[in-house]
Amino acid sequence: MGPTRRCVGCGHSDDKANLLRIAASEGRAVVDASASRPGRGAYVHRNRECVEQSIHRRAWARALRIARVDAQDLDAIATSAVENDRKG
Ligand SMILES: [Zn+2]
């Protein structure tokens, strides 16, 4: 098992490889599919349940320390997480 990170949806820690990284960039939340962006990041499991939980809990702004997260950014996070989920 590699390094672990905490999912902002379910709150459980898991191998980084099982999580999608979201990075804070100029006050916005951007999908960091290659987990290579500098700066503050937060993680969510690649499944619909964890993404929905994270959005419901308004976890992203807090985790990324930004004022608010645009709906379109949340959509991008959800799409990326679920796409990766489907690919397995
Ligand atoms: Zn999770």
Whole-number percent of the chain with pLDDT over 90: 89
67 CA from centroid of ligand 1 (Å): 23
Task: Give residues with Cβ within 8 angstroms of 58, minimum separation 6.
Answer: none
6 or 87, higher pLDDT? 6
Report the length, in residues, of the chain. 88
pLDDT at 87: 55
Q: What is the CATH number of domain 4-83?
A: 3.30.1230.10
| Helix (H/G/I), strand (E/B), else coil: 46 | coil
d(CA 48, CA 25): 23
85 or 35, higher pLDDT? 35
Residue 86 has pLDDT above 70, yes or no: no
pLDDT digits (tens, 9 = 90+) for 72-84: 999 999 999 998 6
d(CA 23, CA 33): 10
25 CA from centroid of ligand 1 (Å): 23
Give the predicted TM-score (pTM) of the model: 0.90
7 CA from centroid of ligand 1 (Å): 5
pLDDT digits (tens, 9 = 90+) for 14-43: 999 999 999 999 999 999 999 999 999 999
59's enclosing H/E stretch is helix 59-64
